[in-house]
Amino acid sequence: MAWEPALESSIDLSPPPARPGWSYFLDFDGTLVDFARTPGEVSVDARLRALLDAVHRAVHGALAIVSGRPLVELDQFLALPHLPMAGQHGLEWRDAFGCVARVPRLSLSPHIVQAARHWAAERPGALAEVKDFSVALHVRGNPPLLPEALAFGQQLVASDPSRLMLQPGAFVVEIRCRGGNKGDIVDRFLRDRPFLGRRPVFIGDDLTDEYGFIAAARGGGFGVRVGEPRETSARHRLLDPAAVRTWLGPLAAADQGTH
């Protein structure tokens, strides 16, 4: 089983106004865009791209996307290749200078991928999403399958516990290589410009983002949980991706005012 952060209490406190001197780490699915039936069906509009581009300029580059998706998918959806990004829960990343790196010597065994695909193929509404370092069992199309997906994921991890870990999420169970999490990649970004010395804010909606909330707090900042109230390590909450965009809006407007 994967280690899970200790969650303290449910919160319902809006974050303070965003400031240009802070650094921002944003999850993608459920945070910047609404969930869709399958990962490939999410919708990214031109307004979101413009907002992220303007906020990136307003904070002098101290904005990064931190997602469970591969970098190549994030670039396909956002088309903002100058943005720092971390994909696959921090196992690959692109820094503010455009340098791309990965945690070395990681690979997912073919039999794990084959077993996951077979499991999903036999269950209507399930989907196996294969990535470089993980395979995700999505059950958003059939939510009652979640306990079964969790049990099956535990079985796969038990076959190679020194190399694999389980990462549950919102209607998804991910079997992934060990080697880091979203908190680790936030720590990495904070050690270098333009994030160095800034107060970090991590915004996310899922259990995987709890690591980011903790890292932001450790760096003197705070986490913002997106979605309905639940126990979390975040200090603040926003209702949905639309509320996240609204909260970031004044930063984008400040950038427009300098042009």
Amino acid at 250: P
Shared-domain flag, residues 125 and 34: no
Shared-domain flag, residues 74 and 173: no
187 is catalytic: no
In a domain, 186, yes or no: yes
Give the end of a domain, one of 158, 177, 196: 177
Average pLDDT over residues 221-246: 91
Residue range(s) defining the domain that contains residue 117: 110-177
What 3-state class would DSSP assign to 228?
Answer: coil
Dihedral Cα 64, 68, 72, 74, nearest 10 deg: -50
Residue in 12, 27, 29, 255 annotated catalytic: 27
Shared-domain flag, residues 62 and 147: no
pTM for this structure?
0.79
Shared-domain flag, residues 72 and 157: no
What 3-state class would DSSP assign to 118?
Answer: helix
Q: In the structure encoding, which two tokens stand for residue 160, read together?
A: 């190679």
pLDDT grade for 1, boundaries at 50, 70 and 90: very low
Kindly give the pairing relationship between strand 85-87 and strand 92-94.
Answer: antiparallel
Taking only the tens place, the pLDDT of each residue in 199-232 is 999 999 988 899 999 999 999 999 999 988 778 8
Q: Number of folded domains in the chain?
A: 2
In a domain, 141, yes or no: yes
Give the end of a domain, one of 177, 192, 215: 177
Q: What percent of the chain is predicted at pLDDT more than 70?
A: 92
